[in-house]
Structure 1
């Protein structure tokens, strides 16, 4: 299978980067083809401008958007890896969704409602956050994050969400706690893509 990983974290030494490396390793171990789009390294421009909108309405998709759409078109599985900042997606990945998952590419509308143009693809999301997972579960944040991304982005465009891993207490775990995160990533990849 062809896997596209959309990665968003500014620091190469971050836990998120280690999770990216672990995900790539687990997929390659299972003989999958992996492409990583590191949005910070690419200096991806996240603001969906009036010029973008007008160009796309005229059928002239800007080149940087067209490149990312081609990666999505070729992928069987799309994985997002990013930290939760202020109860949501970092601006760069939100902007990626705004610009790349565009009307006419990822979805369309018609007499029967929404047409999901990315149907047939699978999706995986891996997130980190500093708040303990039990707190996020209790206040409804975990469910909210899953609805926003799994349903609001993936399912809305036809991508089947296969899993959403949310790792809490980042920065406060002991060595065993971090080890469990990497084990869970390996097990998730094996369960869904072996």
Structure 2
């Protein structure tokens, strides 16, 4: 089983997002799951999609670096996104990554005039930090809007239906005890998702051996 973690925070060492990444990674590795981290800032990933690249995708022409990302996503059973919410959206580098990587012919296709997602059968989890209060977001319905756009709306379109996401709020004012509780929740969610996937895989292996 393979687990792909996509991390997008400019403070790749000292941020709480990094702590989330480390907890997700260690939880995965404890279960002997093959784990791959894509730290977009460390990779200096180019988030700008050119017109030539956009046109090329419709002709099946894909840059080598994007083909590599395609391979990682294609092979992944669990995909984890770790990022801060900035101006009600992804950090620019993550938005650009998704613009370039979730290309036509890889993430979706057009069939009989309809778009069809091509990334079925994958599980996704997202851990999203926000500087504001989660309860206030819920009060005004912002959490639902974000889920509809950033989480379900985008990835359902690409065929990923099994998605969990968690907002962690007040990041700049909470104390270390609160952060530790959040990390414990990250570990619990990740462990549950890995357990479900491993169980499904074991069941499939058992049926194949009969």
Query: What TM-score range do you get, normalising by the shorter chain?
Result: over 0.9
Provide Cα deviations, 1:93-144, integer angstroms capped at 9, x if missing partner. Answer: 0111111001110001111622110001111111001001111111112111
- Counterparts of 1:1-194 in structure 2, within 5 Å, are 1-11=1-11, 12-111=13-112, 113-194=114-195
The CA RMSD over aligned residues, in Å, is 1.3
Q: Distance in 1 between matches of 2:181 and 2:142?
A: 22
Q: Distance in 1 between matches of 2:151 and 2:87?
A: 18
Provide Cα deviations, 1:7-65, integer angstroms capped at 9, x if missing partner. Answer: 10011211101110000011111221110011101111111111211322332211121
Q: Distance in 2 between matches of 1:68 and 1:49?
A: 17
After the TM superposition, which segments of 4 or more aligned residues of structure 1 sit over 3 Å from their partners?
none
TM superposition shift of 1:69: 0.8
Aligned to 2:199: none
Contact 2:40/2:93, CA 8 A, preserved across alignment: yes
Contact 1:9/1:40, CA 8 A, preserved across alignment: yes
> What 5-or-longer segments of structure 1 have no aligned partner?
none
The structure number with the bigger radius of gyration is 2
Contact 1:56/1:62, CA 8 A, preserved across alignment: no
> What 5-or-longer segments of structure 2 have no aligned partner?
196-210
Q: Distance in 2 between matches of 1:112 and 1:57?
A: 15
Q: Distance in 2 between matches of 1:69 and 1:22?
A: 25
User: What is the TM-score normalised by the length of structure 1?
Assistant: 0.95
Provide Cα deviations, 1:155-179, integer angstroms capped at 9, x if missing partner. Answer: 1111133310110000111222111
Q: Distance in 2 between matches of 1:112 and 1:151?
A: 22
